[in-house]
Structure 1
Amino acid sequence: MNRSDGARLGDDAAETAANARRRLVVGAVALVVAIVAIVAWGWLVRTVVIPEPVQLFAAYLVVWIPLAIAVVVAVRRHGSGSFVHDLGLRFRWIDLLWGFGVGCLVRGVSAVIETAVWGRMSGSGVAFGVDPAWAWFTLLVAPVLIGPLIEEVFFRGLTQRAVTDRSRAASARPRTAAAIGIVATALVFALLHLLEATSPGTAVVLELSSFTVGLGCGILAALTGRIGGAIIAHAVSNGLLVLLVVS
């Protein structure tokens, strides 16, 4: 390799690191906006009488919209412009198998956590009131279809990849960089879900369960190089939780 080739490789590595840093900044801004929006919306709901359907949709939108915008901005402005290339947004038939297996596994671990903290799994003796007119959205569309897609694209597609790239740019070995990306992203994923906690016990369960889901999906995304399996795993985990709650 001659000097010009070495310089070109150095420039490419520097550009990759810079783009990864920019994507992390975009993601961090989106998370701050989402957190502020969640807190503000919670205050508004407690202060003003708002129709239940509006409460239901808005509670999801205040999270989904900032994350979705961040993904688009990161790919269009600080990436190649390809969602497939930059985020690993690909599906293969084997992802259904891997995703189902990992989804069942992380839900099982979450059940163990719930039993250890509460003495029961989610749904045991819990009345889950759902307006029949909106049950399709509350029980299927939001937690099983849209939520896992948006969250996995943002966390495993955007954030985990950016953290991994930055770690490699800081001279971390490939496996170490991948591990840092998986764990760091799972922690952020869990912290965002912690905002749903209403008691110390709930906080512990949400934090550990969400971290488990984040680890499972992160490992799957890192091993396959795509997020199709992670999306399936997240959807299966949420779907099993819904089944436990309504059964």
Structure 2
Amino acid sequence: MTQAPRSAAHSAAPTDSNASARPTVPLIWAIAALVVAVVLALTFPAWERSVPFGVELAASYGLTWLPLIIALIATALFWRQYLGFRPVDIYLGLMVGVVARAVGIIVQFFVTGSLPSSGIFIGGITGVYVFTAVIAPVILAPLIEEPFFRGLLQGSLGRFLTPWTSLIITSVIFTLVHTIADGWSWTLVVEMLVYALLAGYVVQQTKRIASAIIGHAAFNGLATLINWPW
């Protein structure tokens, strides 16, 4: 009579611990998603002008984010350990976003003598502008990229490497991916790397991605304010 319940418990338990039982699985998903996203981003310019603008706009975000979303869904049992929120995360996130953006402004000013440009579509305040200037960078990007980079990638690397090594590797990859997607410039490299290191460090210390999500939103939101057609 005791054997059946024990077997049932044994068969049910691994469902919630598959990620921890096989530590390489989350990392494999993260690497695969990054490879697919980078390949799609590199091939996008070859055909972007041959499709309608609406398709081009959706593809410019979807091709990069869809592989990350799929990886996050597949590894949810792993990275959900970084979910959670405390009021201090608001302060930490704002600090990360403001400091990283300030660094970008300073670097841009001394290199070119002008304020930094976030690459946001400049024009009339239309639905497309609101999406590209506010919804995509300030809302969607933090909710997709932070769970992936700071939760899945940095967390899975941390199973095999020291915390600082996983933080630095994740930050460099984050910077390279954004350089590929947004175009290379010294300002972009510096501000992205500074942001990624700060966000990664806060997540490393708190074990929560809430501060990184808030920081990402603040970082991009400040760029939107700078470039807003007042």
TM-score (ref. length: structure 1): 0.78
- Deviation of 1:189 (Å): 0.1
Unaligned runs of 5+ in 2: 1-17
| Backbone CA RMSD of aligned residues | 2.3
- Deviation of 1:98 (Å): 1.3
Task: Verify: 1:210 aligned to 2:192, yes or no.
Answer: yes
Aligned to 2:166: 181
Task: Verify: 1:246 aligned to 2:228, yes or no.
Answer: yes
Summarize the Cα distance change of 1:116–1:234 in structure 2 as closer, same or farther, 3 Å threshold.
same
Give the conservation status (yes or no) of the 8 Å contact 2:27–2:153. Answer: yes
- Deviation of 1:159 (Å): 0.6
Question: Is the partner of 1:166 in helix, strand or coil?
Answer: coil
Summarize the Cα distance change of 1:56–1:130 in structure 2 as closer, same or farther, 3 Å threshold.
farther
- Deviation of 1:133 (Å): 2.6
Task: Verify: 1:135 aligned to 2:129, yes or no.
Answer: yes
- Deviation of 1:82 (Å): 6.0
Aligned to 1:54: 55
Give the AA of the match of 1:139: A
Aligned to 1:45: 48
Which 4+ residue blocks in structure 1 deviate beyond 3 angstroms?
Answer: 15-20
The CA distance in 2 between the partners of 1:196 and 1:118, in whole Å, is 22
Give the conservation status (yes or no) of the 8 Å contact 1:123–1:246. Answer: no
- Deviation of 1:243 (Å): 0.9
The CA distance in 2 between the partners of 1:195 and 1:68, in whole Å, is 19
Summarize the Cα distance change of 1:115–1:18 in structure 2 as closer, same or farther, 3 Å threshold.
farther
Summarize the Cα distance change of 1:196–1:119 in structure 2 as closer, same or farther, 3 Å threshold.
farther
Give the conservation status (yes or no) of the 8 Å contact 1:197–1:203. Answer: no
Aligned to 2:215: 233
Give the conservation status (yes or no) of the 8 Å contact 2:138–2:221. Answer: yes
Question: Is the partner of 1:91 in helix, strand or coil?
Answer: coil
Summarize the Cα distance change of 1:212–1:20 in structure 2 as closer, same or farther, 3 Å threshold.
farther
Give the conservation status (yes or no) of the 8 Å contact 2:179–2:189. Answer: yes
TM-score (ref. length: structure 2): 0.83
Give the AA of the match of 2:110: A
- Deviation of 1:90 (Å): 1.6
Aligned to 1:172: none
Aligned to 2:177: 192
Task: Verify: 1:71 aligned to 2:72, yes or no.
Answer: yes
Give the AA of the match of 1:63: T
Give the conservation status (yes or no) of the 8 Å contact 2:150–2:203. Answer: yes
The CA distance in 2 between the partners of 1:145 and 1:19, in whole Å, is 32
Give the AA of the match of 2:159: D
Counting aligned pairs with the same residue, the percent is 32
